[in-house]
Structure 1
Amino acid sequence: MSRAFLIVATLATLAACSQPETKAVEAPAQTSPSEAMAAYTAAATVLFSGGQPITPAEVTAMVAAQGAQPTVAALYGDGEKTRWTTVMAGVASGAAEWLALVPALIPGTENATSYEIQDALKAAMVVEPSAVLVLLDERDPMLSTEAVCAAAGIEQTPEWYAAYYDALTPAVESVTDPALSEKKSACLTILKARVAS
């Protein structure tokens, strides 16, 4: 079973479990932005927990010595909960030292690692939207506004999409840096279009 599938399944399950129960005759309960952000962040924390130890400095040294693809392959390894998991947890946390690794690692990603790095960036966007918006680069398909601000192209449950948009929209709306206004606007346009569809 692929890691991408496990990530999708875990997010869908956690999102579905975090939805408030409603009776058929009642209007659906609304989830507050902070509740949605907490639920989405919790899902990412579960997904990227339990990895093997590694630091941002060690990853930087690996990329400098070996290049992106051999580094990603070495970090990802053959099993679950590897050093790659730790790197994704760091990226998902929104910590600057981990986010700084993303542009150097992306050229070495493919298939599962591509999906995982995008999932980690989406989680980071919820907690540190300004730091992720800075990384957006339309010249790189993995860092494009569409790739990072839109939900994953893999089929998800309606509950998963609702939790994602409920968490991400207010996070992006909270960005006040004028230098990020174009990226913020582009991201919100994508989010609102996805919600409407």
Structure 2
Amino acid sequence: MKAGLLIAVLWAMAGMVQAQQPLSAAGLAKEIDAKGAKAVVEGLGDRFDGVLDRIDTGDADWIALVPRLAQGTDAGNSEGLSIALAYALPKNPAAVLAVVTEDGGILSVSRVCSIPFIEDSVKDRPGYKRQALRAMEAVRVAALQRAKESCFAVLSRSR
């Protein structure tokens, strides 16, 4: 009985230590490899907002992780990924253009590049648009030109 209780306490403590460890893109990538995207996203719970915050910053490692995370998201979390990429677009357009798709899915150019922000989360939409367009103009990577042109066209039409 005591041994069972001790094991239960140690198991719970191990879970708390894991939940309190800081999030890292490399750590989440390893977790996805081991458990799959759906299990990792579900396991993040409220910490998924922290993942979105890191993507928002434009950090290339976090942006590169987005397609893998997207495989495990539901509707709300999927929308969050699209919006996080939109926030990241003026900060790191090359990284964002490298992960957007043309297929109409959650990472599609039509979503990410359409100023998909909820309500008034971006007060100066025209300013955001100018910054994002200017940032994309600087992208010269040949492999990203198609995504750049598509995103540029969608963003140019967006309000």
TM range (shorter): 0.7 to 0.9
- Local SS of the residue matching 2:103: coil
Q: 1:162 to 1:52 in 2, by over 3 A?
A: farther
Query: Please, which of 6, 23, 47 is the counterpart of residue 54 of structure 1?
Result: 23
Alignment partner of 1:126 out of 90, 94, 102: 90
Match of 1:188 among 148, 152, 158: 152
Separation in 1 of the partners of 2:52 and 2:78? Answer: 11
1:100 matched residue in structure 2? 64
Question: What is the TM-score when the length of structure 2 is the normalising length?
Answer: 0.75
Q: Deviations over 1:30-65 (max 9, x none)?
A: xxxxxxxxxxxxxxxxxxxxx972112221122122
* Residue number in structure 2 paired with 1:75: 44
Which shows bigger deviation, 184-193 or 151-160? 151-160
Report which structure shows greater RCO (CA 8 Å, sep ≥6).
Answer: 1
Residue matched to 1:34: none
In the alignment, the residues of structure 2 paired with residue 158 and residue 96 of structure 1 have an alpha-carbon distance, to the nearest angstrom, of 22
Bigger radius of gyration, 1 or 2? Answer: 2
Runs of 4+ in 1 over 4 A off after TM superposition: 153-160
Calculate the aligned-residue CA RMSD, in Å: 2.4
Say if 1:85 and 1:157 are closer, same or farther in 2 by CA, change over 3 A.
closer
Counterpart amino acid of residue 124 in structure 1 = A
User: Quick check: 1:91–1:98 contact (8 Å CA) kept in 2?
Assistant: yes
What count of residue pairs does the alignment treat as equivalent? 140
Instruction: Compute the TM-score of the two structures, normalised by the length of structure 1.
Output: 0.62
Percentage of matched positions with identical amino acids: 31
Extract unaligned runs of 5+ from structure 2: 1-19
